[in-house]
Amino acid sequence: MVLPAPHASPTPTSPAPHAPGWRGTLAVFTTAFLFLLSLEALLRRHAPGAWRFQAWDSERMMQTLSLRELRDEPLRSLWYLHIQPPLLDVFRATLAQLHRSLDGAALVDAVDRWTYVAWAGLFALTTTLVYRWLHQLAGRTTALVGAGVSALHPGALAFATLLDGTLASAAAFLWFCHELWRFHRNQGSIARLAAASLVLFYLRSIFQWPFFPLVALSLLLMRVPLRQVARYLALAALLAGPYVLKQQVLFGTPMTSTFDGLNFCRAIGLGEPDLGAVKLPPGVLPTSLPPPERAAVLRVEEKLGGHFNYNQLDYLRYSVGLKYVCRQALLTRPLSATLASFVENAALYGQPSSRYQPNALVDALPWRAPLDTVFSWPVLAVLLFAVGLGAARRVKGRDAWLGTAGLALPALFVLAVSIVFEKGENMRFKYFLEPVLIVFLCSECSRLAARVLARPSASASAAPDGPLAR
């Protein structure tokens, strides 16, 4: 994936496109929002059971706390959350407080229905940001095409009707990449970039604290002044550091999620080992965990609907034990076995993101098959290679290459983590990048179309100096 080169300028034959006005932006947002709600209403008859298009309610998600505890002990439950970053459950706790009089399935239904509405807003925001970014890169026509592709993308529709944080994570990463790209136009803002980074940190466990130094490296590669880079790291440390410290003190880990042991074992092909058959040496399991009496989320075994509560302390100990098993396996078994498992993970990553779980809305889409083909292996890889090769030919000079590397680095990080630390849901993680890929592909295809349609005299004029740099 090749992204903009730094300090690029518009072509001499055409003025640089600019950001759209507020009327166009509002029109795109409103259209996308109403499109999804109308599509849901039209296809509701296909929904299994009552009204959800995907069989899982939000209590079924491994990463969520129970709405019962979020209603009864919101602050205490969020303080003792260790299975994922807190932002999704902060949102769910807010909805639970608004429906305090409900209990059981009625509470879950009320929260999930409003989550569908909120996710429709995130879906519209993603479409709108694709539109605005492409409008700056390639003009109104390409921006409308890109917004249309984003809105019709089966993966986007699937995750807009899945009650987890995938859609929100993709929207936040698109915002982050846009803010990083703006440094190439001398419009970058450390405050905005830090805000986008912190949303990712508090939303998705892929973006742990090591992500902040990675972003700092990207800024340095793009020749951002050291003082600004230091300011970015200071903001990140100030607003994320206390949470990292809290996790370390309470749970013995500086990470925002304790699913890492399970994810690591799955990723290298061990599945979910039975620790009952493993003799753990002394000192492996944590000994200074909070007492279970501190919060219900640390001791109850089941959430509403009978779903397992992964936030209980016994699961935390299990996860720590799995990390030990994973380390021992990496030291003792052949490297070829681990690499073969990574190849399997990559194959899963290449599958259509909309195929993560059966979804009645997406299954009824007449355009699903062609778009799934475009956004999966091998077509997507061929497209990215073809347009990326053309974009790379326009990158001239060492500084331009370093700047392009700085822009691509966070996307490559997400790609690597999605393959090396996961097995089974890799295609879902691919959607984190797909809105950004839509921007890249539409911009490069627009540039190619303009060259094909240009007059010979225009074709002989000076070439632009960087991909996506208009």
What are the Cα distances from residue 60, in Å, to 86, 138, 430?
17, 42, 22
3-state secondary structure of 14: coil
Q: Please tell me the predicted confidence (pLDDT) of residue 464.
A: 44
Tell me the β-bridge partners of 302: 308
Q: Please tell me the predicted confidence (pLDDT) of residue 275.
A: 82
Its sign, for the CA torsion 373, 379, 383, 384, is positive
- Take residue 83 and report the two structure tokens written for it: 């299975």
Task: Answer whether 0.75 is exceeded by the pTM.
Answer: yes
- What totals of helices (H) and strands (E) does the chain contain, helices first? 21, 0
Per the prediction, the chain carries an average pLDDT of 90
What is the amino acid identity at position 199? V
pLDDT at 32 over 50: yes
Which is more confidently placed, 14 or 467? 467
User: How many Cα neighbours within 13 Å face the side chain of 179?
Assistant: 20
Q: Please tell me the predicted confidence (pLDDT) of residue 18.
A: 77
pLDDT at 5 over 80: no
* CA 80/CA 65 separation, integer angstroms: 10
Q: Please tell me the predicted confidence (pLDDT) of residue 66.
A: 97
Q: What is the pLDDT of residues 317-327, one digit of tens each?
A: 999 999 999 99
The predicted model gives 108-124 an average pLDDT of: 97
* CA 3/CA 406 separation, integer angstroms: 9
* CA 247/CA 317 separation, integer angstroms: 15
* CA 114/CA 111 separation, integer angstroms: 5
Q: Please tell me the predicted confidence (pLDDT) of residue 238.
A: 97
pLDDT at 88 over 90: yes
Residue whose pair of structure tokens reads 């009327």 in the numeric block: 23
What count of other Cβ atoms lies within 10 Å of the Cβ of residue 335? 8
- Between CA 352 and CA 360, with CA 358 as vertex, the angle to 5 degrees is 110
Q: Are 154 and 376 in contact (CB under 8 A)?
A: no
3-state secondary structure of 302: strand
Radius of gyration of the chain (CA): 23
* CA 418/CA 424 separation, integer angstroms: 10
Q: Please tell me the predicted confidence (pLDDT) of residue 1.
A: 47
Its sign, for the CA torsion 280, 283, 289, 293, is positive
pLDDT > 70 fraction of the chain, expressed in percent and rounded: 93
Q: What is the pLDDT of residues 241-278, one digit of tens each?
A: 999 999 999 999 999 999 988 999 999 998 888 887 78
Q: Please tell me the predicted confidence (pLDDT) of residue 285.
A: 86
Lowest mean pLDDT among 151-155, 230-234, 403-407: 403-407
pLDDT at 103 over 50: yes
Q: Please tell me the predicted confidence (pLDDT) of residue 468.
A: 58
Q: Please tell me the predicted confidence (pLDDT) of residue 437.
A: 96
